[in-house]
């Protein structure tokens, strides 16, 4: 089928199976993401688009550009085109309940009021997750005012991080928010356009971070809770293990990792103890 698609469009350059395999291997080594056969059509279409946009004459030319361009701009553009950024406000919010009813009270028990509590949304995509964390804490954690809460949010994709900083969302993202929360934390700025309150935008520290890059990850230390949800499903066990080991270093003793509902730490790492809060399991670093 791939051959047929290639031939159907004469403007496309030829990508052989070996080229495609080389590309996937390179992408995997740099991001941890594995492209399954099911995604072949999507990946190859995006790849062809970038080859055309950069006016590369062959796959080989494009691949050299990706690897050796000094600025790294094309590599970043490619990542921005290949990632799956699906997210929305209050996604899997039972974990936010576990945070305000279980993890934060435990942290507060060991930590005098006035000190900081650090929470990291990695990956944050377009920002709905870190803003949901902030809203949830303000609404549901009685001690929110007693601690200096720092929320960081990161993603490998520069385009989504820019969107997250702007904080403008459509109805589809806000679907799970009550009218009251919409009124309290957003202003309507247009048809199907809501801007999140400035205090919230300014309270979150957004950055571009690759979870499998030790240098990027070394910028984060003493984090109390990491929300790493709906990313490891795109990895294999080797890159999952690498990411989890780097997150381990970023956490405070006793710190927590929350994974997405279809993700689990079993098979990947024995560094963490599973903890059940309500109906959800999160993973705790030894204290
Ligand atoms: C499906 S979104 C998940 C967003 C949010 N955590 C949620 O659960 O709604 C996955 C995000 O992972 C990001 N991503 C992919 N590879 C990454 C990597 N190596 N490091 C950091 N972020 C990555 C993508 O850019 C994308 O925005």
Distances (CA, A) of 133 to 16, 93, 112, 278: 45, 9, 22, 18
Examine residue 236 and state whether it is found in any structural domain, yes or no: yes
Q: Which of 81, 84, 83, 87 is nearest to 170 (CA)?
A: 87
Residues 131 and 257 occupy one common structural domain: yes
Poorest-pLDDT segment among 73-87, 112-126, 265-279: 265-279
Co-location of 71 and 175 in the same domain: no
Residue 84 has pLDDT above 50, yes or no: yes
pLDDT of residue 10: 53
Decide: residue 9, CB within 10 A, 0-12 exposed, 13-18 middle, 19+ buried: exposed
Q: 3 versus 59: which is more confidently predicted?
A: 59
* Plot region of 55 (φ>0 → left; ψ -120 to 50 → alpha; else → beta): left
Do residues 231 and 281 share a domain? yes
Q: Are residues 42 and 110 in the same domain?
A: no
Is residue 10 in some structural domain?
A: no
- Which pLDDT band holds residue 11 (cuts at 50, 70, 90)? low
| Atom 3 of ligand 1: nearest residue by CA position | 230
Q: Please give the residue range of the domain that contains residue 100.
A: 94-285
Q: How far apart are CA 209 and CA 219, in angstroms?
A: 9
Q: Pocket of ligand 1, candidates 125, 126, 242: which has the most ligand atoms within 8 Å of its Cβ, to mutate?
A: 125
- Whether residues 47 and 181 share a domain: the answer is no
Residue 8: pLDDT above 50? no
Please report, for the domain that includes residue 54, its CATH number.
Answer: 1.10.155.10
Q: Is residue 21 domain-resident?
A: yes
Stretch 49-78: mean pLDDT: 97
**To the nearest whole number, what is the mean pLDDT of the chain?**
95
- Whether residues 168 and 258 share a domain: the answer is yes
Whether 221 is in a domain gets the answer: yes
Q: Which atom of ligand 1 is found nearest the CA of 79?
A: 25
User: In angstroms, how far is the first alpha carbon of the chain from the final one?
Assistant: 53
pLDDT at 281 over 90: yes
Atom of ligand 1 minimally distant from the CA of 33: 16
Q: Is 7 within a domain? A: no
Between CA 160 and CA 156 the distance in angstroms is 9
Q: For atom 17 of ligand 1, which residue has the closest CA?
A: 156
Q: Give yes or no: residues 74 and 119 share one domain.
A: no
pLDDT over 50 at 107, yes or no = yes
Residue 39 φ/ψ region, left for φ over 0, alpha for ψ in the -120 to 50 degree band, beta for the rest = alpha
Residues 175 and 64 in one domain: no
Q: Is the dihedral of CA 243, 244, 245, 251 positive or negative?
A: positive
Provide the whole-model pTM: 0.95
| Centroid of ligand 1 to alpha carbon of 112 (angstroms) | 33
Cα of 157 vs centre of ligand 1, distance in Å, is: 8
1 vs 117, which has greater pLDDT?
A: 117
pLDDT at 4 over 60: no
155: CA distance to ligand 1 center in Å? 6
Give the side-chain half-sphere CA count within 13 A for 213: 11
What is the whole-number distance in angstroms between the Cα of residue 24 and the centre of ligand 1?
Answer: 18
Which CATH number belongs to the domain containing residue 199 in this structure?
A: 3.40.50.150
Identify whether 108 is part of a domain: yes
DSSP per position, 122-173: SS-TTTHHHHHHHHHHHHH-TTGGGSEEEEEEEES-HHHHHHHHHTEE-HHH
* CA distance readout (Å), 149 to 65, 86, 202, 253, 272: 42, 26, 13, 18, 24
- Say if residue 58's pLDDT is above 80: yes
In terms of domains, do 72 and 171 share one?
no
Domain co-membership, 39 together with 108: no
**What is the pLDDT at residue 12?**
81
Single out the residue of 72, 50, 145, 56 nearest to residue 104, CA to CA: 145
Same domain, 144 and 198: yes
Query: What are the phi and psi torsion angles at 24 (to 5°)?
Result: -60, -40
Measure the CA–CA gap between 150 and 136, rounded to whole angstroms: 14
Domain endpoint, select from 36, 51, 82:
82
Q: How many domains does the chain have?
A: 2
Angstrom distance (rounded) from CA 273 to CA 126: 30
Q: How are beta strands 272-277 and 280-285 bridged, if at all? A: antiparallel
Which atom of ligand 1 is nearest to 160's Cα?
27
Whether a cis peptide bond, with omega within 30° of 0, leads into 269 is no
Of all protein residues, the one whose alpha carbon is nearest to atom 26 of ligand 1 is 85
Q: Which residues form ligand 1's pocket by a CB distance below 6 Å?
A: 31-33, 83-87, 91, 123, 125, 129, 155-157, 160, 209-212, 229-231, 260
Query: Using CA atoms, how far apart are residues 169 and 15, in angstroms rounded to an integer?
Result: 38
Q: Whose CA is nearest to atom 23 of ligand 1?
A: 156
Tell me the mean pLDDT in the region 1-22: 71
Considering the domain architecture, whether residues 112 and 148 belong to the same structural domain is answered as yes
pLDDT band at 7 (very low <50, low <70, confident <90, very high): very low
């Amino acid at each position: 089928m791939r051959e047929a698609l290639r031939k159907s469009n004469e403007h496309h350059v030829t990508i052989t199976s070996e080229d495609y395999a080389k590309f996937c291997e390179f992408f995997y080594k740099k991001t941890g993401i594995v492209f399954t056969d099911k995604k072949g059509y999507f990946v190859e279409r995006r790849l062809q688009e970038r080859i055309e946009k950069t006016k590369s004459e062959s796959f080989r030319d494009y691949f050299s550009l990706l690897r050796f361009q000094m600025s790294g701009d094309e590599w970043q553009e490619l990542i921005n085109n290949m990632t799956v950024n699906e997210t929305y406000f209050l996604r899997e919010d039972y974990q936010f309940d576990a945070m305000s009813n279980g993890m934060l009270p435990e942290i507060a028990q060991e930590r005098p009021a006035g000190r900081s509590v650090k929470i990291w949304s990695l990956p944050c995509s377009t920002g709905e997750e870190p803003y949901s964390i902030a809203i949830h804490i303000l609404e549901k954690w009685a001690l929110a005012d007693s601690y200096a809460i720092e929320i960081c949010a990161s993603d490998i994709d520069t385009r989504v991080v820019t969107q997250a900083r702007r904080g403008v969302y459509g109805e589809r993202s806000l679907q799970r928010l009550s009218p009251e929360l919409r009124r309290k934390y957003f202003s309507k700025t247009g048809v199907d356009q809501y801007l999140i309150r400035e205090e919230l935008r300014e309270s979150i520290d957004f950055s571009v971070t690759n979870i499998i890059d030790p240098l990027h990850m070394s910028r984060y230390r003493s984090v109390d809770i990491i929300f790493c949800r709906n990313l490891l499903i795109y990895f294999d066990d080797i890159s999952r293990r690498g990411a989890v080991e780097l997150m381990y270093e970023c956490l405070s003793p006793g710190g927590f990792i929350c994974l997405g509902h279809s993700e689990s730490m079993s098979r990947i790492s024995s560094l963490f103890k599973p903890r059940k809060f309500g109906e959800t399991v999160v993973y705790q670093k030894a204290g």
